[in-house]
């Protein structure tokens, strides 16, 4: 019986689908393991075993577990953009971004981000982290500008969209850091959602 680790001499389309399935299996396994054990106590071997592949296969897809997290965060950027655009028309930009973030947390889409401290990348070169943040900001700024163009055309400048998007990203990152500082037993979905709401509240009142 074939497993995700079994090589196949198969057509390109099927081979690409197999690669995508293996990659997704590794990400989902990592998500489960980080939630159950925490990031620091989860090894590449653990993730590979949970996904039904070898460590060698893991490293064909991701150079490290840090890169797996960064890669999944990049994958979330277009998802976040689409959800922000799809939010109700009556919501202002901050409300739309917050609503989209809460949807992703509830669906488990950013569970990996909330499963451990943002400092999970000790020694990770800043040059590897900045492109991820920049891509997320760019996607979000485009979503905010599209909403403004649709609902507030006179205020739909690129600069305004960029400022609003980066402020929103700052609120999300601040919520992540506050979540990471909590004792492990206090890190729950409800707490993550409340921290996001509180962080976005500060954008309006401070």
Closest by CA position to 80, among listed 133, 19, 20, 21: 133
pTM comes to 0.71
pLDDT per residue over 98-150, tens digit each?
999 998 887 765 544 554 444 444 444 444 556 677 888 888 999 999 999 98
Q: Which residue has the higher pLDDT, 3 or 193?
A: 193
> What pLDDT is stored for residue 122 in this prediction?
43
pLDDT band of 84, cuts 50, 70, 90: very high
Indicate the domain borders of the chain.
1-62, 64-205
Q: Does domain 64-205 have CATH number 1.10.357?
A: yes
Which class is 1-62 in CATH?
mainly alpha
Q: What percent of the chain has pLDDT over 90?
A: 37
């Amino acid at each position: 019986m074939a497993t995700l680790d079994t090589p196949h001499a198969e057509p390109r389309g099927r081979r690409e689908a197999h690669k995508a399935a293996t990659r997704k299996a590794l990400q989902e396994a990592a998500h489960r393991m980080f939630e159950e054990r925490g990031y620091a106590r989860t090894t590449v071997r653990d993730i590979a075993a949970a996904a039904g592949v070898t460590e060698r296969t893991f490293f064909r897809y991701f150079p490290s577990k840090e890169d797996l997290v960064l890669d999944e965060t990049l994958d979330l950027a277009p998802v976040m953009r689409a959800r922000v655009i799809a939010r109700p028309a009556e919501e202002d930009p901050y409300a739309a971004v917050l609503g989209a973030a809460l949807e992703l947390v509830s669906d488990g889409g950013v569970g990996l981000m909330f499963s451990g401290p943002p400092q999970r990348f000790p020694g990770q070169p800043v040059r590897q982290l900045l492109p991820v943040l920049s891509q997320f900001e760019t996607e979000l700024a485009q979503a905010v500008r599209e909403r403004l163009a649709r609902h507030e055309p006179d205020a739909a400048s690129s600069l305004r969209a960029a400022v609003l998007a980066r402020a929103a990203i700052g609120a999300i990152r601040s919520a992540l850091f506050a979540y990471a500082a909590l004792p492990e037993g206090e890190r729950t979905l409800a707490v993550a959602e409340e921290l996001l709401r509180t962080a976005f509240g500060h954008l309006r009142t401070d």
